[in-house]
Structure 1
Amino acid sequence: MRKSWVLPALMATTVLTGCYHFPVPAPCPAIAQATVVSVTVTREYAAQVAALHLKACQGGVCKESDVELRPGSDPVDQGCTPEGVCSATASPNGTRLGMLMLDTLTEELMDLTATGTAPDGSALPERTLQFRPRAAYPFGEECGRFITASVSLDANGLRQSDPE
């Protein structure tokens, strides 16, 4: 007799929770942030750079290394099928991309120095830049903040890249 109230209570709870949609937060992507300074050597300057060396200093800690430069590319939309399957391909764009791995990356000011050599072995001019890495929430504030340090290098020097 005492348990006769359990079945109606369970049915009421099931009906109430089944009809009411509780807000469910969107899942966050499982993407780890890379602590790097990324550099893009512009298309116009890429042929003049055979090797590149970067030195980044932030918060009294410096890290430097030769940077491996890889060909850059732009995405080319290949369209979508009627079933909704979409694709893209990469097309070389003449730029060269590199990364300097860091132990940490914050929004604190960073001093960056780029040196290197030309294809004939001569030294490239030393270029310096002081900039503040940018913070963004590309997947929403509930998914955490990403900090990026991106620069481009051309014949005129280093400059902070625009956020995408």
Structure 2
Amino acid sequence: MHKPGLLLALTTTALISACGSPVGACPAIAQATAVSVTVTVGYSPQVGALHVRACQDGTCKEADVELRPGSTSVDSGCSPEGSCSATASPDGTKVAVLMLQSLTESPMTATVSGTAPDGTALPVRTLEFQPQAAYPFGEQCGKVLSASVSLDDAGLHQLARP
């Protein structure tokens, strides 16, 4: 029995099998079905509490939402071994999320109301927009839908996906 020949045959079989495998595995990340609202830096001090109503495909959901401090990612660089990292840094925005039962590509209407820190009512703002589809992990991993708006003193605006 020729062991070098057997090793070569096994190596060749392994290489041929590897060539047929997908480029990369899809991440096992569940998509959040939600509408996110980002209150801009300039308007953030004027907002104390928010109420969000979202309607799509004949179904509406509304709730008082929790405002959390927003942040941006700051690149921390890469090591010589190739591992890279980033940290979150507060950016002065406030962020809220209204969870939904489902999210489709159909048009959606979002209405945001709220109060200032002193309790006075903020203007009611409404926007009709279409959730955006993207393939952040490649088309082989399926599309991800997002419904994101920003709120400033002029109203609601759809956030574009980067």
User: Same fold, TM exceeding 0.5?
Assistant: yes
Secondary structure in structure 2 of the residue aligned to 1:150: strand
Go from structure 1 to structure 2 and tell me whether the alpha carbon gap of 1:82 and 1:120 turns closer, same or farther (over 3 Å shift). same
Q: 2:13 corresponds to which residue?
A: 17
Go from structure 1 to structure 2 and tell me whether the alpha carbon gap of 1:60 and 1:16 turns closer, same or farther (over 3 Å shift). same
1:87 aligns with 2:79: no
2-structure distance, mates of 1:146, 1:19: 33
2-structure distance, mates of 1:105, 1:145: 12
1-structure distance, mates of 2:84, 2:91: 22
Q: 2:101 corresponds to which residue?
A: 103
Task: Give the aligned CA root-mean-square deviation in angstroms.
Answer: 1.9
Secondary structure in structure 1 of the residue aligned to 2:46: coil
Q: 2:70 corresponds to which residue?
A: 72
1:1-164 equivalences under 5 Å are 14=10, 17-20=13-16, 21-25=18-22, 26-164=24-162
Amino acid at match of 2:142: G
Q: Deviations over 1:9-29 (max 9, x none)?
A: x99975763453532112000
After superposing on structure 2, the runs of 4+ consecutive aligned residues of structure 1 that deviate more than 4 Å are: 10-16
Deviation of the 1:34 alpha carbon: 0.3
1-structure distance, mates of 2:51, 2:139: 35
Go from structure 1 to structure 2 and tell me whether the alpha carbon gap of 1:15 and 1:85 turns closer, same or farther (over 3 Å shift). closer
Go from structure 1 to structure 2 and tell me whether the alpha carbon gap of 1:78 and 1:103 turns closer, same or farther (over 3 Å shift). same
Gapped runs of 5+ residues in structure 1?
1-9
2-structure distance, mates of 1:59, 1:88: 38
Amino acid at match of 1:94: G
Deviation of the 1:86 alpha carbon: 2.6
Indicate the structure (1 or 2) with the bigger Cα radius of gyration.
Answer: 1
Q: 1:3 corresponds to which residue?
A: none
1-structure distance, mates of 2:51, 2:15: 61
Structure-2-length-normalised TM-score: 0.88
Secondary structure in structure 2 of the residue aligned to 1:43: coil
- What is the aligned residue count? 155
Amino acid at match of 2:148: S
Go from structure 1 to structure 2 and tell me whether the alpha carbon gap of 1:105 and 1:16 turns closer, same or farther (over 3 Å shift). same
Secondary structure in structure 2 of the residue aligned to 1:47: helix
Secondary structure in structure 2 of the residue aligned to 1:129: strand
